[in-house]
């Protein structure tokens, strides 16, 4: 990482009033949650995402999708937010008089567990269940719920409250994410490959609205050429260094 970039970015954080951090699976990689497209180990490697993480797959075989997502939930429950999540929570705590909004594609809940708020979970969460028909029923996902069951209110299938491939995003959450992205004065993108739409549009919209965009990813992405700063680094390393740099500037 170039120390000049870090110094400039720390100054931008100090001057900003509204900061957005837009995160993807790469942020949770250091927690041991496999990312989706990194030639992933374990979980994703052995399965076809269209079978286990799509709405068509769920409608075809609810039990299979349920049991695979339950494995993922167990992994998430066993593991912890990492130094990157914690550095972001510290950044928020140190941001007096600023608004720091996390917009995440991750369904692991680690940003909230680390202490960030608000967190806009545009792809939902693996920790909650809801009625497929959206009759209003929702419940925490207890690990004892090992198979799909009918909604106690309307009888439709109960399912994990996350956005499966082939589904629309929650309009209210996405509209809030869009609004925050357009009005921010600094936008971080971390650990995302920009392949899942429409979430991948948020940094593009932010950039078009004149918001400075900083990308943190060990590998180049389609955003790298247009980002104001494209930092080749892991998330934990970057946000830890950024926190230290801000403290150093404040003396």
Residues belonging to the active site: 123
Q: Which is nearer to Zn ion, 55 or 95 (CB)?
A: 55
* Cβ–Cβ under 8 Å, residues 89 and 102: no
Q: Does 81 bind ligand NAD (CB under 6 A)?
A: no
Q: Does 57 bind ligand NAD (CB under 6 A)?
A: no
Q: Which is nearer to Zn ion, 129 or 231 (CB)?
A: 129
Q: Which is nearer to Zn ion, 25 or 131 (CB)?
A: 131
- 251 Cβ neighbours under 8 A, 6+ residues apart: none
| DSSP assigned state of 77 | H
Q: Which of 218, 224, 229, 240 binds ligand NAD (CB under 6 A)?
A: 218
- Whether the link from the prior residue into 99 is cis, omega within 30° of 0, is no
- Whether the link from the prior residue into 198 is cis, omega within 30° of 0, is yes
Given the DSSP bridges, would you call strands 99-104 and 18-23 parallel, antiparallel or unpaired? parallel
Q: Give the nearest distance from C-beta 96 to ligand NAD in angstroms.
A: 27
* Cβ–Cβ under 8 Å, residues 109 and 123: no
- Binding at 219: pick from Zn ion, ligand NAD, none (beta carbon under 5-8 Å per type): ligand NAD
- Binding at 154: pick from ligand NAD, Zn ion, none (beta carbon under 5-8 Å per type): Zn ion
* Binders in 161-190 for ligand NAD, by CB under 6 A: 190
- Binding at 229: pick from ligand NAD, Zn ion, none (beta carbon under 5-8 Å per type): none
CA distance 18 to 26: 23
Q: Does 211 bind ligand NAD (CB under 6 A)?
A: no
């Amino acid at each position: 990482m170039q120390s000049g970039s870090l110094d400039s970015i720390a100054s931008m954080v100090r001057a900003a009033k509204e900061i957005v951090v837009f995160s993807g699976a790469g942020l949770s990689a250091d927690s041991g949650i496999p990312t989706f497209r990194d030639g992933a180990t374990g979980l994703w490697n052995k399965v076809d995402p269209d079978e286990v993480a799509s709405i068509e797959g769920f409608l075809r075989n609810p039990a299979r999708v349920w049991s695979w997502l339950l494995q993922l939930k167990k992994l998430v429950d066993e593991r912890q937010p990492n130094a990157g999540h914690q550095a972001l929570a510290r950044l928020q705590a140190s941001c007096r008089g600023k608004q720091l909004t996390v917009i995440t594609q991750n369904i692991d809940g680690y940003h909230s567990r680390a202490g960030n708020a608000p967190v806009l979970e545009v792809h939902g969460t693996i920790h909650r269940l809801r009625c497929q028909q959206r009759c209003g029923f929702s419940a925490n996902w207890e690990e004892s719920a090992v198979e799909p069951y009918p909604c106690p209110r309307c009888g439709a299938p109960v399912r994990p409250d996350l956005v499966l491939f082939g589904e629309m995003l929650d309009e209210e959450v996405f509209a809030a994410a869009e609004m925050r992205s357009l009005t921010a004065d600094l936008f971080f993108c971390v650990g995302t490959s920009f392949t899942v739409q429409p979430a991948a549009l948020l940094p593009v919209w932010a950039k078009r609205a004149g918001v400075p965009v900083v990308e943190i990813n060990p590998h180049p992405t389609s955003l790298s050429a247009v980002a104001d700063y494209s930092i080749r680094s892991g998330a934990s390393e970057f946000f830890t260094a950024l926190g230290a740099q801000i403290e150093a500037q404040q003396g």
